[in-house]
Structure 1
Amino acid sequence: MERRALLTGIGTAAVAALAGCASSADPGDDGDDTPTDTPTDTPDPEPRMTDTTFTVTDVSSGTQRDEASVAFGGDTVTVEGTIWGANGCKTGRLLGAEYDAAADELTVTVGTKDREDAGDGCTQAIVEIRYRATATFEGGLPGTVVVTHDHGDGGKDVTTATQ
């Protein structure tokens, strides 16, 4: 009989000890132990150039014009411009489109070359070569675009645009 009393006393003491632990819980704790996601600052992805295109839209007699405009839209940067050629055998070409992530700057360089179908008879008049260049990006667009025209003399900046 004394054994039953001893076991009952131990059981009661254990329940009381556990009840004390439960009552010392944080008063603001609702008992839901589901972990919560802590929002973290994830950096925006850096822009990455994925494609470029270049098209000559017109070649006609003209003057030594070097001009360009830049448009930012969606996932593309579009450059439309005019570069001059020394004679009627010239056409435009994309010399380079390079994105510098550290500077957040796209540089588009346009030059001239002899037309493949020009033959031997070329006018000796200056021609204006109108073009369109596009650069497609993922993860945003560059902050700055510099357009350079190179006539074989190292080139010069024609325009700089920022968004």
Structure 2
Amino acid sequence: MAELTQASSFVSSFESSNYEVFLSYKWEDTRNNFTSILHKALKDSGINVFPDGKKLWTGDAIGPAIERAIEGSKIWIPVFSCGYVDSQRCLWELVQIVQCHRSNGQLILPIFYHVDPSDVEHHTGSCFKKAFQEHEKKFNSDILKIWKDALELVRNLKREVLDETR
């Protein structure tokens, strides 16, 4: 019971807040390198960043809090890595980010971390092609279209591309 009270307190501590930045990324791909450094740099600069932690993504009750954090953020930074489109969670976050961008005009600052932006949009390259082949086995064409449309919009925004040379 104490764990439930702690979890409830943790969720309510960020549920109603507005954030300046929401980072969307594949935990396993970038958390222990680029994204953790970016997250820390933003926080150290006094920027209110949505709380980072793998425990946020477990359980069903946290979903609405994440949706509110996305809706309340002023800037979204999706960090596209090789595994980003493997993750349904990342894709649904991106869809919500794009919907909010279209209706409210908040800023999306995509970062392409060791991936080619055209691979993201066109679902090419080994990572993205394989991920969408797997998604096609599990999801109907309407869901795939929603995800692909979101990826296309973000790919065409002003962006930062980080590769082995940078």
TM-score range, shorter chain: under 0.3
For normalisation by structure 1, the TM-score amounts to: 0.20
Higher helix share: 2
- Which is greater in Rg? 1
Higher strand share: 1
Of the two structures, which has the highest relative contact order with CA contacts closer than 8 Å and spacing of 6 or more? 1
For normalisation by structure 2, the TM-score amounts to: 0.19
